[in-house]
């Protein structure tokens, strides 16, 4: 059976990555780095030749998907990307070059509790599943990160789909992701995959004020689009132009605190995958028949992102 012909439950996704690691032990490494509120594993996948991992200057790209439970295509896409990179190393010159230049660190499902709930309860569930009040569950993980938390575009109401949580980084999943990110040296770029609308969003989200790096991010958007191809337009814009949102991962990765800790800024973007804004009847329910074509495009997009990031380091 073609794995990429369908969406899969969390336990199957873990098995998929275990099989990938077993098949390519010199390229793929798995690590459990935390637990969700309901006790599920949070897993990261490292992809790249292990013999280079010991290099203290080894550069890394951080990818994550599925902070939002209902955005199934984001999980399916990073599974496709991971398999393509593993299959391509040593065979496809561009992929080989990329993995020789950077190690890919991937969190395939950032919100496993919410994701499982979207299979068993509500398909359009968005948040995690931590109980907040009797009968009220979940924090919007992508409003919970500690950069300009509670600075607009999030809600203090636990019933809201964009509930920011009781305090910044209150959620065990967000804490674990932050710790793991901090423990990973030399990250030069990070992508948070979401759906939908076909957008490439760049920092910052909490204010309409452009960052001084806007020219680079705009150019990155063009390079990304060129790699994807005209048949699937991705609009690049500052996150806040879509709507103001504070407490997002993308802002924390890019933000002052992270830059201070790491000694510099990194490229941080959020990709809103297919379908386009116009196809709002499909929206989060992208049929699984689209997984392969979206995955193919995003492999190309990722390679463009990595090249641009390496060629235009931020200060
Ligand atoms: Zn999302």
Per-residue pLDDT of the chain (315 residues), as tens digits, is: 899 999 999 999 999 999 999 999 999 999 999 999 999 999 999 999 998 888 999 999 999 999 999 999 999 999 999 999 999 999 999 999 999 999 999 999 999 999 999 999 899 999 999 999 999 999 999 999 999 999 999 999 999 999 999 999 999 999 999 999 999 999 999 999 999 999 999 999 999 999 999 999 999 999 999 999 999 999 999 999 988 999 999 999 999 999 999 999 999 999 999 999 999 999 999 999 999 999 999 999 999 999 999 999 997
CB-CB contact of 77 with 296 (8 Å): no
Q: How far apart are CA 41 and CA 33, in angstroms?
A: 8
CB-CB contact of 272 with 197 (8 Å): yes
Closest CA to 32 of 144, 23, 21: 21
How far, in Å, from the CA of 37 to the mean position of ligand 1?
A: 20
CB-CB contact of 236 with 224 (8 Å): yes
Which pLDDT score, from 0 to 100, does residue 53 have? 86
Q: How far apart are CA 44 and CA 106, in angstroms?
A: 6
Tokens of 27: 């390229």
Class for the domain spanning 3-311:
alpha beta
Which pLDDT score, from 0 to 100, does residue 121 have? 85
Which pLDDT score, from 0 to 100, does residue 185 have? 96
**Residue 118: CB atoms within 10 Å:** 22
Quick check: bond before 204 cis, omega within 30? Answer: yes
How far, in Å, from the CA of 127 to the mean position of ligand 1?
A: 10
Q: How many helices (H) and strands (E) does the chain have?
A: 10, 10
Closest CA to 75 of 8, 135, 142, 126: 8
How far, in Å, from the CA of 195 to the mean position of ligand 1?
A: 6
Which amino acids are annotated catalytic? 272
């Amino acid at each position: 059976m073609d794995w990429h012909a369908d969406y899969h439950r969390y336990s199957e996704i873990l098995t998929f990555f275990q099989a990938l690691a077993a098949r390519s032990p010199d390229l793929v490494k798995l690590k459990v780095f935390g637990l969700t509120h309901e006790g599920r594993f949070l897993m990261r996948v490292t992809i790249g030749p292990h013999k280079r991992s010991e290099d203290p200057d080894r550069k890394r790209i951080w990818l994550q998907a599925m902070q939002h439970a209902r955005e199934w295509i984001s999980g399916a896409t990073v599974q496709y990307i991971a398999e393509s990179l593993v299959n391509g190393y040593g065979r496809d010159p561009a992929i080989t070059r990329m993995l020789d230049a950077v190690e890919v660190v991937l969190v395939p499902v950032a919100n496993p509790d919410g994701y499982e709930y979207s299979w068993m309860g509500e398909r359009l569930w968005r948040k995690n599943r931590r109980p907040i009040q009797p009968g009220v569950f979940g924090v919007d993980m992508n409003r919970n990160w500690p950069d300009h938390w509670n600075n607009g575009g999030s809600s203090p109401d636990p019933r809201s789909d964009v509930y920011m949580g009781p305090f910044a980084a209150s959620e065990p999943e967000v804490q674990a992701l932050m710790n793991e990110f901090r423990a990973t040296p030399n990250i030069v770029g990070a992508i948070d995959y979401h759906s939908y609308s076909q957008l490439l969003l760049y920092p910052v989200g909490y204010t309409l004020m452009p960052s001084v790096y806007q020219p680079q991010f705009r150019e990155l958007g063009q390079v990304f689009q060129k790699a994807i191809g005209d048949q699937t337009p991705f609009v690049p814009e500052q996150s806040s132009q879509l709507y103001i949102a504070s407490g997002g991962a993308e802002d924390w990765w890019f933000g002052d605190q992270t830059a201070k800790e790491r000694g510099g800024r990194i490229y941080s973007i959020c990709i809103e995958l297919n379908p386009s804004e116009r196809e709002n009847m499909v929206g989060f329910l992208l049929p699984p028949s689209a997984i392969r074509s979206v995955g193919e495009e995003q492999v190309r997009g990722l390679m463009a992102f990595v090249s641009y990031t390496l060629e235009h380091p931020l200060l």
